[in-house]
Amino acid sequence: MSSKMFRPLLRLLKPSIPVSKKPMATMTDLPQRLNIHHTPLSLHSLNPITGFARDGYCHAPSSDPGNHSIAAIVTDEFLNFSKDRGNDLTSIGLKGGCKWCLCVNRWMEAVNAYGKGELSKEGVPKVVPEATGLRALEGTTKEELERWKVGK
């Protein structure tokens, strides 16, 4: 067979969509994920794997309506509190002491419940500021988050 026979076939295989000559974006081109201190976001947990994207980070993209950006260590008391409000995190295996990316609104509910005497101070999940995504500040303040940080 001659190569002339294959030319029509090769024309069919050529991409009909023009290929860009621009280099593809690299990871350094993407916006950096920041924590509430405007420094690079720290990994929160891979066991259990957490985050809206299940990548271990409490980064809440705009596509996350729940804003899962609070890096917290949950308590059994909080898990019961959340279950009573329709979100049973124990059903996915969470227990007291697990690291989890919480929705800002649910975490604030817990803080407010403490203020009303409905939840103990120990029941409010402690926050890991270095792993708490910047979007958390859409629903609370840095000062409030720092008030509840691990070790305080």
Distances (CA, A) of 32 to 39, 127, 142: 9, 21, 19
| pLDDT, tens digit (0-9, with 9 covering 90-100), for 16-44 | 433 334 333 334 334 469 999 999 999 99
Q: SS3 for 46?
A: strand
Question: Which of 3.40.50.300, 3.20.20.140, 3.30.56.110, 3.40.718.10 is the CATH number of 32-147?
Answer: 3.30.56.110
> What is the amino acid identity at position 6?
F
pTM: 0.78
How far is 102 from 87, CA to CA, in rounded Å?
11
| pLDDT, tens digit (0-9, with 9 covering 90-100), for 58-113 | 999 989 999 999 999 999 999 999 999 999 999 999 999 999 999 999 999 999 99
Domain-by-domain residue ranges, the chain?
32-147
